[in-house]
Amino acid sequence: MNRFIVLWFAVGLIGFAIIPWYTTDDSFWSFVWLTDGYPFDADYAPALLQIFVHGKIWLAPLILFFLAVVPVLRRDASGQQQARYLAIAGIGGLAYLFLQGFTIGIGGWEYAALESLFGPVERQFGLGYGAVLVAGAFLFLLTQSFAARGYVGGDLFVAGSIGLIITLIVAFVFFPVSRILMSAFQDNDGAFTLLLFAEKISDNKIWGLRCISENVSCGVAWNSLMLATTVGFGSTLLGLAFALVTTRARLRFGKAFRVLTVLPIITPPFVIGLAMILLFGRAGVVSQFMDWAFDIEPSRWIYGFTGIWLAQMLAFTPIAFLVLIGVVEGVSPSMEEAAQTLRADSWTTFTTVSFPLMRPGLANAFLLGFIESMADFGNPFVLGGNYGVLSTDIFFAIVGAQNDQGRAAVLAIVLLVFTLTAFYVQRRWVGKKSYVTVTGKGDSGLHAALPKRLTWAIFAIVIPWTAMMLVIYCMVMFGGFVETWGRDHSFTWRHYAEAFSITSGEFGLVWTGSAWNSFWTTITISAIAAPLTAAVGLLTAYLLVRQKFAGRLLFEFGTMLSFAIPGTVIGVSYILAFNIPPIEITGTGIILIICFMFRNMPVGLRAGVAAMSQLDKNLDEASLTLGANSFTTVRKVILPLLRPAIAAALVFSFVRAITSVSAVIFLVSADYHMATAYIIGRVENGDYGLAIAYSSVLILVMLAAVSLVQLLVSERKLGRRSATTKPAGDDPPGQKKIGAVA
């Protein structure tokens, strides 16, 4: 036990006395500081020298908290002593570390009152490596204190993991979001004012309803709500149609529709919108054809509600399909067979048995579509025209000429309230009211065939829609080879050459294409973020599925809550929160990595929860009774058995990091430019050829990654299938888990 205390005590001391305390201007991996004035330079000095050489005496009290650990470094310190002293060190150290960080900033005291009380102080920057080590040390000493008190059965590993996850979520989800809430109540000088907030939140631009009577646009909140509701309904209906065709129509090619499930994973969200412009925009193929054949003047009808709606329908129907195919398959055939033996014909069976059983699933799909549409940024951005929705208005409030953080914050709050409400309803009400059960007993019956009329109706929807999907993806794949859409349809390599050319120069190969920079940044950042995302997600899943601890429900609620926050809101909140000390990381690659970690954590979490719920809990217990501790158990028993889930979590976090737009667009910088942000920029300039070319390259890269993992996972399944003691579940891990917000 004491080895652990000594270890973290040492880590803390190293962080305090040896490693630079503040963030440096250089990149995270740069070690310039080692040769550039360290250890005495004010920028690079460790805390100890900051106190004695640079007069930052407010760091001195941290020493006291280190001293509190000393009495329990002895081997024979009792659990009670550990609990007491480590709690003092942990809570006190962490609290003081952040308190001083928040009160003393780049300009000295943050609060005028304190300055008049204590006199002026030196300025200080954000917390750096040293501070991170010290914070980590205090955190784990604190969790050790909890463990010594008997929390989670005195298990160090579990207590430490819980502490770590909570700290991360508080720091990188709750803190930034609360920052948004605060800035909504502040005026531009930072003073708190309720009046201004009331004025902003009741703004006509948000809630205006004059569009009903006059020909002006409605408030953005109504626009968003309208869009999300119609998209939710539409995508649910279409998804159901596709699910029925795939599972019930007894078509030979029905299975092919399952390809649909992969599409939303590998398609950056705005690509559909882009393809729509190439088809129906003023210079679009269809518009031009209509003009030529029927003299219908090309118009801008695609920009606005109709266009966004169409694009979102195309983008989110596969998600509804994903949810509903499970629901449709999950309705036990024996129920339908029972109805039929009771003399119901196929129409009656469908309307009285099958459909009612699917109803909770339909509500679920609707809410997911609703949330996705609310949170979508790419399509409204590309196709919005004058039709503003919340997510795009937030962006323009921050980035555009307005630069009004307060307005962005207020809009973000409105958006957050909408998505959280939908999310809450989905989790608490619909999510649990499912009739679909997988009992593990063989259910050998056959699903009832669909009634004839319904079949035809479904075909009438599904076939044109499929055709449109095909056309859209063809556009994306081949659009990059066309000179200029609508005007000059001659074949060209120009766009690919501009983006991805490589010339062999004097010093070997030179990556001259304009896209290479953002491409490699994207791949690198995503590759770094993927294992971290998977690790955090799987660890959280382990805690949720396998451990019972006080506050577990709250913990679950906290992790779940972070999923429902739209990307634009996260983006704005990160800018507001991490621009200034104590955590000062805007403009770095770290902020992107952290953003991906917490936005994509659901991928790892859901894959982990699904896979772990299928592992017999007795396996862990057997390992524990055989003398392994929980860390060894995780390493030797759980992780090896979760290998498919890990692979899935890794690849899907990687792919999602590549496709994400909404949060990223706020966080990119000159040094760290991401592919999606680059493409969006090209779209803004009307450079569709390059944008499409770049998108298709991204899609191919991601398709390769996803195929790879599918191959690995399915190979694993062929092996020892009967391995687990419980029947394997219904869906491959990671694939069905799209419920999260884009």
Partner 1 sequence: MTIKSNASPVLFDTVTKAYGDVVAVDAISLSVAPGELVTLLGPSGCGKTTTLRLIAGLEMATSGHIFIGDTDVTKLPATARDVSMVFQSYALFPHMSVSENVGYGLKVSGIKKAETRDRSQDALDLVGLTDLGQRMPSELSGGQQQRVAVARALVLEPQVLLFDEPLSNLDAKLRRRVREEVREIQQNLGLTTVYVTHDQEEALAVSDRIVVMRNANIAQEGTPRELYERPADTFVADFIGDANIVDAQIIAVDGDDAQVSIGNLTMAMPHRNAGPGPVQLAIRPEAIHPIVIDADNTGNGDGGSLSGTVSKATYLGSHFEYTIETALGALFAIDPRIDAPVLEGQAIGIELASRGVTIIGDRS
Separation between Cα atoms, residue 84 and residue 139, nearest integer Å = 15
Choose one: 61-69, 365-373, 382-390, 718-726; the region binding partner 1 (CB under 8 A).
Answer: 718-726
Q: Supply the minimum distance, in Å, between the C-beta of residue 633 and partner 1.
A: 9
Token couple for 111: 């609060």
Q: Supply the minimum distance, in Å, between the C-beta of residue 630 and partner 1.
A: 8
Choose one: 94-102, 239-247, 284-292, 716-724; the region binding partner 1 (CB under 8 A).
Answer: 716-724
Q: Supply the minimum distance, in Å, between the C-beta of residue 77 and partner 1.
A: 17
Binding to partner 1 in span 297-316, by CB under 8 A: none
Token couple for 390: 């919340």
Q: Supply the minimum distance, in Å, between the C-beta of residue 165 and partner 1.
A: 21
Q: Under a CB-based contact definition with an 8 Å cutoff, are residues 161 and 539 in contact?
A: yes
Q: Under a CB-based contact definition with an 8 Å cutoff, are residues 408 and 398 in contact?
A: yes
181, with CB counted inside 10 A (0-12, 13-18, 19+), is: middle
Closer residue to partner 1 in complex, CB, 399/639 = 639
Q: Under a CB-based contact definition with an 8 Å cutoff, are residues 372 and 316 in contact?
A: yes
Q: Is 715 in the site for partner 1 (CB under 8 A)?
A: no
Q: Is 550 in the site for partner 1 (CB under 8 A)?
A: no
Choose one: 51-59, 137-145, 148-156, 399-407; the region binding partner 1 (CB under 8 A).
Answer: 148-156
- φ, ψ at 283 (rounded to 5°): -100, 15
Closer residue to partner 1 in complex, CB, 630/695 = 630
Provide the terminal-to-terminal Cα distance of the chain, rounded to the nearest Å. 43
Q: Under a CB-based contact definition with an 8 Å cutoff, are residues 538 and 646 in contact?
A: yes
Q: Is 211 in the site for partner 1 (CB under 8 A)?
A: no
Separation between Cα atoms, residue 111 and residue 104, nearest integer Å = 8
Per the DSSP assignment, residues forming a β-bridge with 511 are 502
Render the burial of 384-420: b for 16+ CB within 10 Å, e for the rest. beebbbbbbbbbbbbeeeeebbbbbbbbbbbbbebbe
Q: Judged by CB under 8 A, which of 37, 55, 150, 445 binds partner 1?
A: 150
Q: Supply the minimum distance, in Å, between the C-beta of residue 155 and partner 1.
A: 7
Q: Judged by CB under 8 A, which of 530, 637, 649, 690 binds partner 1?
A: 637
Choose one: 134-142, 406-414, 673-681, 722-730; the region binding partner 1 (CB under 8 A).
Answer: 722-730
Q: Supply the minimum distance, in Å, between the C-beta of residue 721 and partner 1.
A: 8
Closer residue to partner 1 in complex, CB, 245/637 = 637
Amino acid at site 637: V
Q: Which residue has the tokens 């990556």?
A: 511
Binding to partner 1 in span 166-195, by CB under 8 A: none
Q: Judged by CB under 8 A, which of 255, 487, 636, 717 binds partner 1?
A: 636
Q: Is 154 in the site for partner 1 (CB under 8 A)?
A: yes
Q: Supply the minimum distance, in Å, between the C-beta of residue 620 and partner 1.
A: 9
Closer residue to partner 1 in complex, CB, 155/376 = 155
Q: Supply the minimum distance, in Å, between the C-beta of residue 142 and partner 1.
A: 20
Separation between Cα atoms, residue 666 and residue 672, nearest integer Å = 12
Binding to partner 1 in span 223-242, by CB under 8 A: none
Separation between Cα atoms, residue 422 and residue 368, nearest integer Å = 8
Using DSSP's 3-state secondary structure scheme, residue 508 falls into: strand
- For 325, residues 6+ apart whose C-beta sits below 8 A from its C-beta are 242, 243, 246, 247, 258, 261
- For 477, residues 6+ apart whose C-beta sits below 8 A from its C-beta are 696, 699
Q: Supply the minimum distance, in Å, between the C-beta of residue 616 and partner 1.
A: 6
# binding residues, partner 1 (CB under 8 A): 27
Closer residue to partner 1 in complex, CB, 191/718 = 718
Q: Judged by CB under 8 A, which of 724, 728, 729, 731 binds partner 1?
A: 724
Q: Supply the minimum distance, in Å, between the C-beta of residue 144 and partner 1.
A: 15
Binding to partner 1 in span 593-632, by CB under 8 A: 616, 618-619, 621-630, 632
Separation between Cα atoms, residue 478 and residue 476, nearest integer Å = 6
Q: Under a CB-based contact definition with an 8 Å cutoff, are residues 313 and 383 in contact?
A: no
Q: Is 440 in the site for partner 1 (CB under 8 A)?
A: no
- For 488, residues 6+ apart whose C-beta sits below 8 A from its C-beta are 482
Q: Is 723 in the site for partner 1 (CB under 8 A)?
A: yes
Q: Is 504 in the site for partner 1 (CB under 8 A)?
A: no
Q: Judged by CB under 8 A, which of 344, 436, 468, 641 binds partner 1?
A: 641
Q: Supply the minimum distance, in Å, between the C-beta of residue 610 and partner 1.
A: 17
Q: Supply the minimum distance, in Å, between the C-beta of residue 150 and partner 1.
A: 7
Q: Cα–Cα–Cα angle for 130, 133, 137, nearest 5°?
A: 140
Question: What is the contact surface with partner 1 in residues (CB under 8 A)?
Answer: 150, 153-155, 616, 618-619, 621-630, 632, 636-637, 640-641, 720, 722-725
